[in-house]
Amino acid sequence: MSERQYMRVRADMPPGHVRTPAYLRGKVGWVERTLGPFPNPEQLAYGMQAMPLPLMRVRFTMADIWGADADRPRDTIDAEIYRHWLEPAEAPHAT
């Protein structure tokens, strides 16, 4: 398996048509695959010229999202996150 590319989801809470779920903001996962480009929904939803953005399927472990409350720490959640919501990150502590 190639090296995992870890990303942190921005922890911002801007208004508007944002497709980044709040429960993932601030969390770190790795890129499962890259898709797109797709138009930025935050612009598209308002009839604006929408910038094409890479869309990344980011995989998070339950442990990294829910911490000690995780049902099964090694189960995972994948979500599609637009590139502008992601910043490179270190791998989270092994769980």
Neighbouring C-beta atoms of residue 47, cutoff 10 Å: 7
* Contact of 10 with 86, CB cutoff 8 Å: yes
Binding mask 52-91 for another protein (x = CB under 8 A): ---x-x-------xx--x-xx-xxxxxxxxx---------
The least distance separating another protein from the CB of residue 76, rounded to whole angstroms, comes to: 5
**CA 77 to the chain's CA centroid:** 10
Interaction site with another protein (CB under 8 A): 19-21, 23, 35-36, 38, 41, 55, 57, 65-66, 69, 71-72, 74-82
